[in-house]
Structure 1
Amino acid sequence: MSWDWELIGCAVGGHATYRPTEAALAGLLRVETAAGTGWRCLRCGSFVPGEPSGHGPADQAPAVARGVMLRDLVIQRLLALDRLIHFLVLLTAGIVVIGLRHSQDALRDDVTREMPLLEPIAGQFGWHLDDSPTVRLIESSFRLSPTAITLIGTALIALGVLELVEAVGLWLLRRWGEYFSAVVTGVFIPVEIYELTERVSVLKVLVLAINVAAVLWLVWRKRLFGVRGGAAAYRAEHSAQDLLSVERAAVLPATPPADVGARAAPPGETGPKYPV
């Protein structure tokens, strides 16, 4: 099954039409129809009747993701949403843990009272509470001091903030966000592998697989750390995918090599900034 990423992008975000001030280029992007003047969508290539969504010099036109670039944009946004979910979970967990620092005695009494009632139910699912790491973890938390519990909660919130920074950088398509995500995610992979040596679970394997795939995808597709030509090759790839650049090359004189980077992003950016 083949996905038409351009049509999906236009269906979700609308067509990206543009009227350049250069007459020759504008003529290529304009067509007269029975419904009036139509302008070519820079994403899917269709001519859309009505006023263009933008206008100005060609050099100031928004770079619109197409093809593989659009697919990468969708994947990166999904990664950003995944990191946002992590942030919300860790933030909630940290707040709950800190809120329980003075309720250990009451919680111990509740667990002691309710545990015998839960054992027959858990036994029906083959879950032995006496051997459960989760139950042992809860019981060990009762012996922690309020200060230790506060530190644990603060650490969870700090990890959540890291996930939030990842989410923002990835969603905004910033190159620093891609580097940050690759480094932070990669640092925790050895920890996740160690946890698997202690106890294997489907969830742990799934989380590890997603994080390894995310790091490999970021490094390979975003050409991080100089891979596959690095940032320069990444910007050139984006420019080649830009429909307006292709049309402009067909009607305007070839630009000298020194001007090739005119549409490239400033240092520290991802490259072309796609419409959000």
Structure 2
Amino acid sequence: MDWSLLTCAFTGHRTYAPDEPALRDRLRARTAAGEAWRCLRCADFTVGAADGGGPADQAPDVSRDRHLRDTVVLRVFAVERLIRVVVLVLGAYAVWRFRGSRGSLQQIFEKELPILGEAGLDVQHSRILSWIQEALGASQATLGWITAALLGYAAIELVEAVGLWLLKRWGEYFAFVATGIFLPLEIHELIQRVTLLRLGAFLVNLALLVYLAWTKRLFGLRGGRAAYEADRRNSSLIEIERAAMTGPAKT
């Protein structure tokens, strides 16, 4: 898939008129329909005046090719984190509401439990009923701590989502550390019992860790940030055209 063309189809082209005459001529064309400029993202010519102009070094930073793909992938992870935030906040709200209505729920549960037994349900060995009984027997303080823990976890996920969506370097490090901290707990849960939900969450988090470390060159991997920024600059259309003007280096 050509991510550059796909993005331009949805958001429009990005053009720029550099002040340097030679570079300017490489990005501009005369057509029967008028002046056309090459898009900094997809490199196609688009008819009309350039979106902006000035020194080439001040051209807008436009992601393209694999760097644009990385942007899309990170924002998919950001949306996944945001969905977790919503689920966690709803869970915290449910626990908080349960604190105030636990007495009435206890009465309903004790009233309906014999009926469930008569209906053929093994109430003595049901895992779900056991969880419900444990929750009903929890103290107000315990439920308060559970609510706080859920909200705290939601806050962590929200910071991850914001950092990844804005494509911030600190967001990438924060997401890596925050995800890595909970990975041993997820492994422990999988050892206890493998479920589709647990396995799916573990694989998503593991994929994020590997993706961040490798593509974003975190913690000095593959040359670190300097190598990443150099590769990003060299992939820009203006830098490619500059290199084409100078030609191959002589040995």
Q: Same fold by TM-score, threshold 0.5 exceeded? A: yes
Shift of 1:118: 6.9
Partners in 2 of 1:82 and 1:120 — Cα distance?
A: 43
Contact 1:18/1:52 (<8 A) preserved? yes
Larger Rg computed on CA atoms: 2
Decide whether aligned partners of structure 1 residues 113 and 17 sit closer, same or farther in structure 2, where only a CA change above 3 A counts: farther
Q: Larger deviation: 19-28 or 215-224?
A: 19-28
Partners in 2 of 1:51 and 1:137 — Cα distance?
A: 66
Partner in structure 1 of residue 210 of structure 2:
216
2:103 is equivalent to residue 105 of structure 1: yes
Look up the equivalent residue of 2:80 and give its one-letter code. D
Give the superposed CA RMSD: 2.4
Equivalent position SS for 1:32: strand
Q: In the TM superposition, what whole-angstrom CA distance separates every residue of 1:204-252 from its partner, at most 9, and x where no partner exists?
A: 1111111111101111111001111111111111111111111133447
Partner in structure 2 of residue 90 of structure 1:
88
Partner in structure 2 of residue 196 of structure 1:
190
Partners in 1 of 2:212 and 2:123 — Cα distance?
A: 41
Partner in structure 1 of residue 227 of structure 2:
233
Partner in structure 1 of residue 47 of structure 2:
49
Partners in 1 of 2:164 and 2:84 — Cα distance?
A: 14
Partner in structure 1 of residue 8 of structure 2:
10
Contact 1:42/1:64 (<8 A) preserved? yes
Look up the equivalent residue of 1:154 and give its one-letter code. A
Shift of 1:117: 6.7
Q: Larger deviation: 230-239 or 20-29?
A: 20-29
Decide whether aligned partners of structure 1 residues 121 and 187 sit closer, same or farther in structure 2, where only a CA change above 3 A counts: farther
Q: In the TM superposition, what whole-angstrom CA distance separates every residue of 1:36-63 from its partner, at most 9, and x where no partner exists?
A: 1111001111101112223222111112
Structure with the bigger RCO (C-alpha within 8 Å, sep 6+) is 1
Q: In the TM superposition, what whole-angstrom CA distance separates every residue of 1:49-83 from its partner, at most 9, and x where no partner exists?
A: 11222322211111211111111111111011111
Equivalent position SS for 1:103: helix
Look up the equivalent residue of 2:186 and give its one-letter code. E
Shift of 1:112: 3.9
Shift of 1:159: 0.3
Partner in structure 1 of residue 30 of structure 2:
32
Partners in 2 of 1:189 and 1:151 — Cα distance?
A: 22
Partners in 2 of 1:238 and 1:92 — Cα distance?
A: 40
Partners in 1 of 2:114 and 2:50 — Cα distance?
A: 69
Contact 1:31/1:39 (<8 A) preserved? yes
Shift of 1:188: 0.6
Partner in structure 2 of residue 182 of structure 1:
176
Contact 1:98/1:154 (<8 A) preserved? no
Shift of 1:130: 5.6
Partners in 2 of 1:223 and 1:121 — Cα distance?
A: 59
Shift of 1:110: 3.0
Equivalent position SS for 2:40: coil
Q: In the TM superposition, what whole-angstrom CA distance separates every residue of 1:141-196 from its partner, at most 9, and x where no partner exists?
A: 11112122111101101100000000111111111110110111011111011111
Partners in 2 of 1:243 and 1:122 — Cα distance?
A: 70
Look up the equivalent residue of 1:204 and give its one-letter code. R
Percent identical: 45
Partners in 2 of 1:116 and 1:42 — Cα distance?
A: 71
Q: Which runs of 5+ in 1 are unaligned?
A: 255-276
TM-score by length of 1: 0.82
Partner in structure 2 of residue 138 of structure 1:
132
Partners in 1 of 2:27 and 2:120 — Cα distance?
A: 66
Name the count of aligned residue pairs.
248
TM-score by length of 2: 0.90
